[in-house]
Structure 1
Amino acid sequence: MKKVFKWSLIVIPLLVIAAAAFVVGGSYFEHRDAVAEEKEAYPAPGELVDVYNDGHTMHVYSEGDGKETIVFLAGFGTPSPVYDFQTLTNELKDDYRTVIVERYGYGWSDVSDHDRDIEAVVDETRTALLEAGEEGPFVIAGHSMGSIEAIHWAQSYPEEVNGVIGLDPLVPSYYEEKGEAPSMSNVTTFLARSGLMRQQPEVFDENFHAMEKGLLTEADAEVARTLFLRRVQTTNMANEAEKLTENVETVSGTGLPETPFYAAIASENEDGASFIQSFAEDAGGKSEVFDGGHYIHLDQPEAIAVKIQEWVSETQ
């Protein structure tokens, strides 16, 4: 009996490990096949441009024919910028050219191994727009961390930027005083890469903000879900998190942009509001507080669209 018991202490854990490996392995290959099918079923609606001529493309999605062009840059970790901004751009596309640029590792853009240094990121966006046939100067609207890219674009190429609009933006002074780099969950990354997340549909429903707020049609939700399942915590996002402190220091050390900075601030952003307001004032712009959370463009799309129209008119 003792020998059987000792033997079971070895065999049972090995069987458990083998079974887990079988499940995870099977899930991974099913996920890989599903991603290939989904890419074919739901191709990118915009332009895919090869910025580095290395086979890795970036996605540029444009709508509208207005005289002024507003370029939208997503915040950190947003799996599908197109669907994240859709509610807001729907309010603006009749009067403006609206363009959403998805960084590497986001939405329909490929995952790449290129550096996430702020200069490289800005130049990727500029090149992607050029290759997609979009002409500036632009008004750049950045959500959260996307505002750091927008600010540095205005600092480095002021002739290309008429104004910057921050959507509950991250500004250098706040990050230097109170901010910290976003963290990435190893468990979440494992669930996403292995495909096990596909067995938990509520993860998308509860964590993709446009879906959680009921702003997607059934058809859009179906496509957005596929993007979510392959664009949660990508390696590009992890590299962005690692580079954020260095990138903020670069932006902070370059000084204020020459173009005005406007900001829509979330009422729930009590810690950051004063920093954002001061930055906007110092940069020759304005700010306004809107009732809602960090994804303020989803909480108050109509009101923010009206305010964007007002701000854009001031940049002309």
Structure 2
Amino acid sequence: MKTTVKKRMLKNLIVVLLLLGIGSIWQDVMIDKESRKFLPQGNLYTINSHNMHLYGLGEGNTTIVFIAGSGTPNAFTDYYYYQQELQQYARTVSYDRAGFGWSEKTNIPRTIDTIVEELHELLKKANESPPYLLVGHSLASLEVIRFAQQYPDEVKGILLLDSGSPEYYANDLEAKSLILNRFTAGLRVTGIARALGSAGILLPFAGENLRYDLLPNEMKEIDIAMYYRHLGDSSNLNFISHMNENAKVVMDGGYLKDIPFLILSSESGSDWDEVQQQLLHWSNKSVRETIPASQHYIHWSNKEVVLKKIVETLTLISKDK
């Protein structure tokens, strides 16, 4: 009896390993196919010895710089709606950090000063001129605030999309994000994430499925291909493993004084509300608004409201000479 059970377990294990092997091969084949099919939308620039992707659209006296949150596969589709809608008001740009979207991977540690320096150099090389309105989602708040600390004369305003405070990220457990990253990486390399996606299940549930559903059809193919390519990628592992120390660097950099600073918050409970309140201290011109019936990917769950707030902020800083 025991021998029969062991044989059955061995047979099941072999079947599972075979399926995972097939899924892994399928993943590699599809990544190669999608890489050749979906070429960069925008331009690539060599920054710090690796290529970085930037997409620009529109004209205006102010340049809106969109910065994606941690783990978002690419900024092009994440901010596609906003660049299309705002091109009549301003110059808009979105970019991919090293290892995301169409930007190349790098072994250079993802310290906050390196990330900010690369973004600044990218904007210069692409001839994207200040003044800048920086718009960042989630963990991008560290990058946005540090950029303003390093280049205060170039930043005219900041708008944060359900972002955490530096104080929060300085003490948040990196281990939680690291475990999630490795788990999702396993789903990606074995083809399980692709199989789930084919069944209409995209991870993380809080954002990828929401953005995908609201994108125009011609953008959905790019979005899903980037998702399958970068879910749980090691570049994000490098990024979040520096979260605590990066937050402390930002805290040491000091408050931003008189830069207009709009905080758009989701309804996510009392603990998150405290984190949002902490952000108010980061500028003498800070304002916070909680968006009703919103989610963490607030720029997709409430895109019309967020669009209106960006236009209002743009108008405000345009009057502030």
Fold-level similarity (TM above 0.5) = yes
Q: Is there any run of 5+ residues in structure 2 with no aligned partner, and where?
A: none
**C-alpha separation in 2, matches of 1:166 and 1:95:** 19
Given the superposition, is the C-alpha separation of residues 13 and 60 from structure 1 closer, same or farther in structure 2, using an over 3 Å criterion?
A: same
**Hey, what does 2:207 align to over in structure 1?**
209
**C-alpha separation in 2, matches of 1:149 and 1:245:** 13
How many aligned positions are there?
A: 309
Counterpart secondary structure, 2:156: strand
**C-alpha separation in 2, matches of 1:91 and 1:187:** 36
Deviation at 1:300, TM superposition (A): 2.1
User: For 1:124-180, what per-residue CA distance to the aligned partner results, in whole angstroms no more than 9, with x for missing partners?
Assistant: 111222222312231111111111100001011112211221111211233456x43
Q: Is there any run of 5+ residues in structure 1 with no aligned partner, and where?
A: none
**C-alpha separation in 1, matches of 2:279 and 2:156:** 17
**Hey, what does 1:268 align to over in structure 2?**
268
Q: How does 1:231-246 map to 2 (within 5 A)?
A: 231-246=230-245
Deviation at 1:15, TM superposition (A): 4.9
**Hey, what does 1:83 align to over in structure 2?**
77
Deviation at 1:79, TM superposition (A): 1.6
Given the alignment of the two structures, is residue 120 of structure 1 paired with residue 114 of structure 2, yes or no? yes
Given the alignment of the two structures, is residue 290 of structure 1 paired with residue 291 of structure 2, yes or no? yes
**Hey, what does 1:131 align to over in structure 2?**
125
Counterpart secondary structure, 2:79: helix
Confirm or deny: 8 A CA contact 2:71 2:236 kept in the other structure. Answer: yes
Counterpart secondary structure, 1:170: coil
Given the superposition, is the C-alpha separation of residues 206 and 307 from structure 1 closer, same or farther in structure 2, using an over 3 Å criterion?
A: same
Aligned partner of 1:199 among 184, 195, 210: 195
**Hey, what does 1:50 align to over in structure 2?**
46
**Letter in structure 1 aligned against 2:303:** P
Given the superposition, is the C-alpha separation of residues 117 and 252 from structure 1 closer, same or farther in structure 2, using an over 3 Å criterion?
A: same
Measured on the aligned residues, the alpha-carbon RMSD in Å equals: 2.5
Confirm or deny: 8 A CA contact 1:210 1:298 kept in the other structure. Answer: no
**Hey, what does 1:308 align to over in structure 2?**
310
Deviation at 1:310, TM superposition (A): 2.2
User: For 1:183-226, what per-residue CA distance to the aligned partner results, in whole angstroms no more than 9, with x for missing partners?
Assistant: 23333211102223222222328737364363112222122111
TM superposition score normalised by structure 1: 0.88
**C-alpha separation in 2, matches of 1:245 and 1:97:** 33
Confirm or deny: 8 A CA contact 2:63 2:92 kept in the other structure. Answer: yes
**Hey, what does 1:37 align to over in structure 2?**
33
**Letter in structure 1 aligned against 2:127:** G
**Hey, what does 1:279 align to over in structure 2?**
279
Given the superposition, is the C-alpha separation of residues 76 and 282 from structure 1 closer, same or farther in structure 2, using an over 3 Å criterion?
A: closer
* Overall identity of the aligned pairs, in %: 27
Confirm or deny: 8 A CA contact 2:137 2:161 kept in the other structure. Answer: yes
**Letter in structure 2 aligned against 1:204:** L
Confirm or deny: 8 A CA contact 1:206 1:212 kept in the other structure. Answer: no
**C-alpha separation in 2, matches of 1:281 and 1:248:** 15
Given the superposition, is the C-alpha separation of residues 298 and 33 from structure 1 closer, same or farther in structure 2, using an over 3 Å criterion?
A: same
Given the superposition, is the C-alpha separation of residues 219 and 211 from structure 1 closer, same or farther in structure 2, using an over 3 Å criterion?
A: farther
The structure that has the greater radius of gyration is 1
Deviation at 1:287, TM superposition (A): 2.0
Confirm or deny: 8 A CA contact 1:174 1:272 kept in the other structure. Answer: no
Counterpart secondary structure, 2:201: helix
**Letter in structure 1 aligned against 2:52:** M
**C-alpha separation in 2, matches of 1:246 and 1:45:** 33
Confirm or deny: 8 A CA contact 1:266 1:289 kept in the other structure. Answer: yes
Counterpart secondary structure, 1:50: strand
Given the superposition, is the C-alpha separation of residues 273 and 23 from structure 1 closer, same or farther in structure 2, using an over 3 Å criterion?
A: same
**C-alpha separation in 2, matches of 1:166 and 1:207:** 21
User: For 1:219-247, what per-residue CA distance to the aligned partner results, in whole angstroms no more than 9, with x for missing partners?
Assistant: 22122111100110111111222111111
Confirm or deny: 8 A CA contact 1:72 1:100 kept in the other structure. Answer: yes
